[in-house]
């Protein structure tokens, strides 16, 4: 080894020691129904919270209020000093850490630092102690995107300070799934100078007023036999509700909370949809089809599934569907439901209404039900301006570049995503029997969680592997282009 090589090794070792021992920058301590947050501590790379002072209103030149926003970092794979930084966007729920899923595999491959910012208002990143409607006016995708831009700049400057350097930019890459997948695509669209590219997994970039395709996809994924049983169950519940409403609701342990029939039918519809969305179709179809063949009571069979799987395994609470409960303004364990409904009712809609023909869900879950909910929970005049949202972001005609779109073939949300591919905006569908929401992140099914998002339990592991390889190839190209230009973007 030459003297120059020895000097380089010593310098690198000292830089690493400095980086790892430098105190973390912090300003102090302080689907609503989403499976992505229901993980045990062992499934996280880190759950140590850090804090950042965030601007409350990015669009006012006069309002300089701030709030503390939670974030996480994981540096074990980081190639100091020039490795990429992967920013994982928090979505519509509490962020409890950085999950050890497929993004961890990518970080290890590319020598990347992982940082994740909790979405404003959710979890412990609430600007206010009360969630009354007036206080929610700063809850929007536009404000969230500006949060990400501000945080990205803060973190890069913090990293430079740790490494005793100035005006250096690491290559950044943005990640998100579902709503945060849309944010990932929109971030690259609105802030192309701050990232080399984005992965938008199951990204719902199209705001949809009457989202009938959601129910139609559930029917397609269920197959004729299971679909027919689910439709029969809906009809039976409607009949029983008309004759003895409280009795049939009690069968589902919902009589004490879901007084509004629409809330009850929404709960039942979501319970079925979740199995297909997250890659567990047999959990709902097998017991119901067997019950039908055996001549058993189908309503009782479905109630058993809802209570054991949807409420049990998934931990979804009945009260999160109760409009009286959604009106609560105190911060509680189900606050995410109220917060997400506010975004639904003001920006994106995604109203999962029953199609006029051949519907699985009850026809009571219609447009009027959703609009009534919005006004009942948040006040008169509350409704989603989906045209304005799609005009601002482009919907499925998004005109950005270097955004990877991925979707699972059985995921009902894919119909609000971009599924046509182009050289600048590659789009891939992971096709298999149990490929659902964010299968490229978490494998199949998403529950139970598997380390590294293993594809081994997918009915076609090769389909998942091929899409992941395309993701990696695009990232490799775009990150190398950033490195060649000496910037974090191109």
- Per DSSP, the residues of 422-465 read -SSS-EEEE-STT--TTHHHH-SSSSS--GGG--TTSS-HHHHH
Angstrom distance (rounded) from CA 120 to CA 486: 32
Look up residue 363 and give its two tokens: 């026809």
Taking the model in full, what pTM does it have? 0.92
Spatial separation of the C-alpha atoms in residues 194 and 172, rounded to whole Å: 7
Cβ count within 10 A of residue 241: 18
pLDDT tens digits for 274-314? 999 999 999 999 999 999 999 999 999 999 999 999 999 88
> Residue 333's pLDDT is what?
86
201-to-205, 304, 350 alpha-carbon distances in Å: 11, 32, 17
- The more confident residue out of 26 and 299 is 299
227 or 29, higher pLDDT: 227
Report pLDDT digits (tens) over 192-235.
999 999 999 999 999 999 999 999 999 999 999 999 999 999 99
For residue 149, pLDDT over 60 is answered with yes
pLDDT tens profile 335-380: 999 999 999 999 999 999 999 999 999 999 999 999 999 999 999 9
Do 115 and 85 meet the contact criterion of CB atoms below 8 Å apart? yes
The catalytic residues are: 178, 411, 437
Q: State yes or no: pLDDT of 487 exceeds 80.
A: no
Q: Give the span between the Cα atoms of 233 and 298, in whole angstroms.
A: 6
Q: Tokens representing 435?
A: 């490929």
What are the C-alpha distances in Å from 219 to residues 61, 101, 207, 272, 360?
50, 29, 22, 10, 7
Is it the case that residue 27 has pLDDT exceeding 80? Answer: no
Distance CA 74, CA 144 (A): 22
Q: What is the pLDDT of residue 218?
A: 98
Mean pLDDT of the chain: 91
Structure tokens at 246: 């409280």
SS3 label, residue 482? helix
């Amino acid at each position: 080894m030459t003297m120059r090589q020895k000097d380089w090794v010593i310098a690198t070792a000292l830089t690493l020691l400095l980086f790892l021992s430098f105190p973390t920058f912090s300003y102090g301590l302080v689907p609503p129904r989403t499976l992505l947050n229901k993980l045990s501590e062992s499934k996280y790379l880190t759950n140590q919270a850090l804090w950042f002072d965030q601007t409350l209103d990015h669009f006012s030149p006069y309002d300089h209020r701030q709030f503390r926003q939670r974030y996480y970092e994981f540096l074990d794979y980081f190639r100091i000093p020039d490795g990429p930084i992967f920013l994982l966007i928090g979505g519509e729920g509490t962020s409890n850490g950085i999950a050890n899923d497929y993004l961890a595999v990518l970080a290890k491959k590319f020598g990347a630092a992982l940082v994740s910012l909790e979405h404003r208002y959710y979890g412990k990143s609430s600007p206010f102690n009360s969630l009354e409607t007036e206080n929610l006016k700063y809850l929007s995708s536009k404000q969230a995107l500006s949060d990400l831009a501000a945080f990205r700049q803060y973190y890069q400057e913090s990293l430079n300070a740790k490494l005793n350097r100035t005006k250096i930019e690491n290559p950044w890459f943005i990640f998100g799934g579902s709503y945060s997948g849309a944010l990932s695509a929109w971030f690259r669209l609105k802030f192309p100078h701050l990232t080399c590219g984005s992965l938008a997994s199951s990204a719902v970039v199209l705001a949809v007023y009457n989202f009938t395709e959601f129910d139609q996809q559930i029917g397609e994924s269920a197959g004729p036999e299971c679909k027919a049983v689910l439709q029969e169950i809906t009809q039976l519940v409607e009949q029983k509700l008309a004759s003895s409403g409280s009795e049939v609701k009690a069968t589902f342990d919902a009589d004490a909370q879901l007084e509004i029939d629409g809330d009850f039918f929404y709960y039942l519809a979501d319970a079925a949809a979740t199995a297909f969305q997250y890659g567990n179709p047999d959990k709902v179809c097998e017991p119901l089809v067997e019950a039908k063949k055996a001549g058993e009571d189908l309503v009782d069979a479905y109630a058993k599934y809802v209570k054991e799987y949807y409420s049990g395994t998934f931990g979804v609470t009945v009260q999160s569907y109760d409009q009286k409960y959604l009106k609560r303004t105190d911060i509680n364990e189900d606050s995410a439901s109220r917060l997400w409904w506010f975004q639904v009712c003001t920006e994106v809609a995604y109203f999962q209404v029953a199609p006029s023909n051949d519907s699985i869900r009850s026809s009571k879950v219609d447009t009027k039900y959703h609009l009534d909910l919005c006004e009942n929970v948040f006040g008169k005049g509350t409704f989603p301006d989906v045209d304005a949202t799609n005009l601002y972001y482009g919907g499925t005609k998004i005109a950005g570049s270097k955004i990877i779109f991925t979707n699972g073939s059985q995921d009902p949300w894919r119909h609000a995503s971009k599924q046509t591919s182009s050289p600048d905006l590659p789009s891939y569908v992971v096709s298999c029997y149990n490929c659902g929401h964010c299968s490229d992140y978490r494998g199949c099914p998403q529950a139970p969680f598997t380390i590294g998002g293993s594809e081994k339990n997918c009915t076609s592991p090769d389909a998942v592997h091929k899409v992941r390889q395309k993701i990696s190839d695009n990232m490799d190209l775009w990150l190398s282009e950033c490195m060649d230009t000496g910037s974090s973007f191109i």
